């Protein structure tokens, strides 16, 4: 049998209170007050689709017994690079083998579910990793700004340790244009909500689901969990009613706590369903966008022993309230701010130099001396142990999964940072090795010498002149 053996999610810590959005914009559109309930997840300035994908994938792999990942699919409609394979960056940040098959899949809200179907139907011999991540921009004061959120989800597909086996799949391709984003556009253009519901969801989804259930010889009443991504709060319930699925089976889209995460939403909600599912339950996962994907799973006995490293519940709990709407606009480049002379320094990335040190920059790999066992970062020609100093003696040693301690730190308001002050200092890692690092998402008063940190893949710099972004690892204070 083939199915899902592990899952994981990532939700950014910052949660923007929706009242702050409504307060800033209801003078123009008073209807925003009616949906100003709860909060939405927002990326920090140094987060994007790739960095969230790294976090979700790491969380998924941490709870998996997968021996080796041979395929990696990254699904999104918000890739940072149009012509650079984003999934390769993800692969190297995860330190996966270079002989892995990588693929970017986008251009539709169904990109994640279509990727999932492709992996399930290909009957992969080795474990495959599917990651979907979304960081959508929306116009200030729009309905989308209220209802969307940033998040990522990941699944491991294979034949071993399966917690949810695939029972069947069905797809229909229908060019129903509920929204679109053209090549030169920064924002989606969508049509009227009721028309999308009546002519789109209610006409496109039911035939595909009914065909799938008939093939599987399953009654709609047997569906225990229905995953239907939508920023229309009542539409999943309407679909369930038309299909004959119990209303209690509808998995909440988390509009008031995270927001709808675009192409990543079906994977995030699927993960949420797997957290609470009992053995033998049917989970129906749907994807909507220029047609419909329908995938039916049945949980196995193995789900009773499986615990995600980071599931939806724990991701929701790891939150920090953000009331500053202007900060959100700045982080998403929705307003043009005066960043000062220090922010205008050229950020060109020398690709030859980057290529020489990408093991450090992307994989956060240091070295371990074969002679004396000393670990160090960065890895150099000579061992840093003064009693050793062996030449060319170091094997790869990853620091991406290591915890550390703050040895020194400073908060600098003279150095340019998108979220001043800039925090940086020396981090000493458990087991040896130390390096100067940037700290990110620091709350004032929450950092001190001796603070415990973990490391996370983040954006280091933007080169807006050439459209490049430089990634590196940063330290985050552990609560």
Q: Are 268 and 155 in contact (CB under 8 A)?
A: no
Given a contact cutoff of 8 angstroms between Cβ atoms, the answer to whether 303 and 279 are in contact is yes
- How many angstroms separate the CA atoms of 335 and 405, rounded? 37
All domains in the chain, ordered by first residue: 3-331 (3.40.47.10), 349-364+399-477 (2.40.50.840)
What is the radius of gyration, based on Cα positions, of the chain? Answer: 23
DSSP 265-284: HHHHHHHHHHHHPPTT-EEE
Report, as ranges of residue numbers, the positions in the chain whose pLDDT lies below 70.
Answer: 67
Residue 279's CB: how many other CB atoms inside 10 A?
12
How far apart, in whole angstroms, are the C-alpha atoms of residue 224 and residue 53? 28
Q: What is the 3-state secondary structure (H, E, C) of 53-116?
A: HHHHHHHHHHCCCCCCEEEEEEECCCCCCCCCCHHHHHHHHCCCCCCCEEEEECCCCCHHHHHH
Residue 386 CA to residue 391 CA, distance in Å, equals 12
Could you read off the pLDDT of 344-384 as tens digits, one per residue?
Answer: 788 899 999 999 999 999 999 999 999 999 999 999 999 99
Bin 44: left if φ > 0, else alpha if -120 < ψ < 50, else beta.
Answer: beta
Count the residues in the chain.
479
* Torsion sign, CA atoms 20, 328, 337, 183: negative
pLDDT for 44 equals 98
End-to-end CA distance of the chain: 40
Rounded Cα gap, residues 277 and 308, in angstroms: 13
Helices (H), 228-324: 235-243, 265-276, 312-317
Residue 231 in tokens = 């920023």
List the one residue out of 189, 192, 211 whose CA is nearest residue 291. Answer: 211
If DSSP states are collapsed to H, E and C, what string results for 319-384? CEEECCHHHHHHHCCCCCCCCCHHHHCCCCCCHHHHHHCHHHHCCCEEEEECCCCCEECCCCCECC
Closest CA to 46 of 451, 449, 437: 437
Q: What is the dihedral of CA 350, 356, 361, 365, to 10 degrees?
A: -170
pLDDT at residue number 249: 98
Which residue is listed with tokens 């709990």?
317
pTM for the model stands at: 0.97
């Amino acid at each position: 049998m083939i199915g899902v053996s592990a899952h994981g999610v990532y939700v950014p810590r910052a949660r923007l209170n929706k009242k702050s959005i409504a307060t800033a914009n209801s003078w123009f559109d008073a209807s925003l007050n009616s949906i100003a309930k709860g909060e939405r997840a927002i990326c920090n300035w140094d987060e994007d689709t790739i960095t969230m994908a790294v976090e979700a994938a790491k969380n998924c792999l941490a709870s998996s017994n997968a021996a080796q990942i041979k395929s990696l699919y990254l699904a999104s409609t918000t890739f940072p690079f149009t012509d650079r394979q984003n999934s390769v960056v993800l692969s190297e940040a995860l330190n996966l083998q270079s002989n892995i098959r990588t693929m970017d899949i986008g251009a539709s809200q169904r990109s994640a579910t279509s990727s999932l179907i492709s992996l399930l139907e290909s009957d992969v011999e080795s474990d495959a990793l599917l990651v979907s991540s979304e960081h959508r921009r929306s116009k200030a004061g729009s309905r989308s700004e209220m209802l969307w959120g940033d998040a990522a989800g990941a699944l491991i597909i294979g034949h071993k340790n399966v917690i949810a086996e695939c029972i069947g799949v069905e797809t229909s391709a229908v060019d129903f244009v509920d929204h679109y984003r053209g090549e030169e556009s920064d924002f989606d253009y969508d049509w009227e909500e009721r028309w999308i519901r009546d002519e789109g969801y209610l006409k496109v989804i039911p035939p595909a689901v009914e065909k799938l259930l008939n093939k599987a010889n399953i009654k709609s009443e047997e569906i225990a969990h229905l995953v239907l991504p939508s920023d229309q709060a009542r539409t999943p319930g309407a679909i369930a009613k038309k299909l004959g699925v119990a209303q209690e089976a509808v998995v909440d889209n988390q509009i008031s706590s995270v927001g709808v995460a675009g192409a990543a939403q079906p994977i995030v909600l699927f993960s949420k369903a797997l957290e609470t599912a009992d053995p033998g339950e049917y989970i129906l996962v749907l994807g909507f966008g220029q047609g419909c994907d329908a995938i039916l799973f049945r949980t196995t006995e193995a789900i009773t022993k499986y615990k995600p490293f980071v599931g939806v519940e724990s991701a929701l709990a790891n939150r920090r309230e953000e009331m500053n709407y202007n900060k959100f606009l700045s982080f998403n480049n929705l307003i043009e701010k005066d960043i000062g002379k220090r922010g205008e320094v050229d950020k060109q990335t020398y690709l030859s130099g980057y290529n020489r040190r990408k093991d450090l920059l992307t994989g956060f790999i240091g070295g371990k001396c074969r002679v004396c066992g000393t670990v160090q970062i960065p890895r150099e020609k000579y061992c840093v142990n003064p009693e050793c100093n062996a030449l060319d003696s170091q094997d790869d040693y990853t620091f991406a999964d290591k915890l550390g301690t703050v040895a020194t730190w400073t908060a600098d308001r003279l150095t340019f940072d998108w979220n001043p002050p800039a925090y940086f200092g020396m981090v000493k890692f458990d087991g040896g090795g130390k390096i100067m690092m940037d700290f990110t998402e620091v709350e004032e008063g929450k950092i001190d010498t001796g603070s415990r940190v973990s490391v996370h893949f983040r954006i280091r710099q933007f080169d807006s002149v050439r459209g490049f972004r430089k990634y590196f690892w940063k330290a985050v204070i552990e609560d």
